């Protein structure tokens, strides 16, 4: 069952990265139709929920890990930060009507902070400090 949860966890992470690419295009000035913006937002939320749910399932299923391990607690904190930042980004994009050029410049900094948080989340998953 471990490999089943792992595949779903990785697919969820891929969805999260895909939404990061979409938001990066918007920050760079690309325009996006309202339908594509809604799909990107749904992809981000599905990726975040999947990463959390399947990650918890993995931690419970694996013999060597517990939910209170340091690297899992770090991942949960980074997950909350990524969710907040991603939701804030897509809300700003929706308010701008999907026009990347009309998004205020502060959103660009927010995007790069979100990229850093998600890269830290990935690094935490790969190297598992305090495992």
> Has residue 107 got a pLDDT over 60?
yes
Neighbours of 127 (CB within 10 A): 9
- pLDDT tens-digit map of 89-104: 888 887 776 565 556 6
Give CA–CA dist 52/33, Å, rounded.
29
Instruction: Report the mean per-residue pLDDT for the chain.
Output: 88
Give CA–CA dist 29/128, Å, rounded.
36
Residue 121 DSSP one-character state: H
Name the more confident of 90 and 122. Answer: 122
Q: Which domain holds residue 7?
A: 2-127
Q: What would you report as the CA-atom Rg of the chain, rounded to the nearest whole angstrom?
A: 16
Give CA–CA dist 93/95, Å, rounded.
5
Task: Specify the number of domains making up the chain.
Answer: 1
Give CA–CA dist 92/21, Å, rounded.
16
Residue 85: predicted pLDDT: 92
Give pTM, 2 decimals: 0.86
- pLDDT tens-digit map of 19-59: 999 888 888 878 778 888 888 889 999 999 999 999 999 99
> Has residue 120 got a pLDDT over 80?
yes
């Amino acid at each position: 069952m471990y490999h089943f949860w792992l595949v779903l966890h990785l697919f969820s992470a891929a969805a999260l990265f895909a939404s990061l690419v979409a938001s990066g295009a918007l920050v760079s000035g690309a325009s996006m139709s309202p339908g594509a913006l809604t799909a990107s937002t749904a992809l981000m939320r599905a990726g975040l929920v999947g990463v959390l749910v399947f990650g918890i399932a993995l931690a419970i299923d694996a013999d060597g890990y517990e939910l209170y391990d340091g690297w899992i607690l770090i991942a949960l904190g980074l997950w909350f930060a990524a969710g907040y930042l991603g939701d804030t980004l897509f809300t700003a994009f929706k308010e701008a009507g999907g026009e990347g050029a009309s998004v205020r410049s502060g959103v660009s900094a927010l995007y790069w902070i979100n990229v850093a948080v998600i890269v830290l989340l990935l690094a935490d998953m790969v190297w598992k400090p305090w495992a």
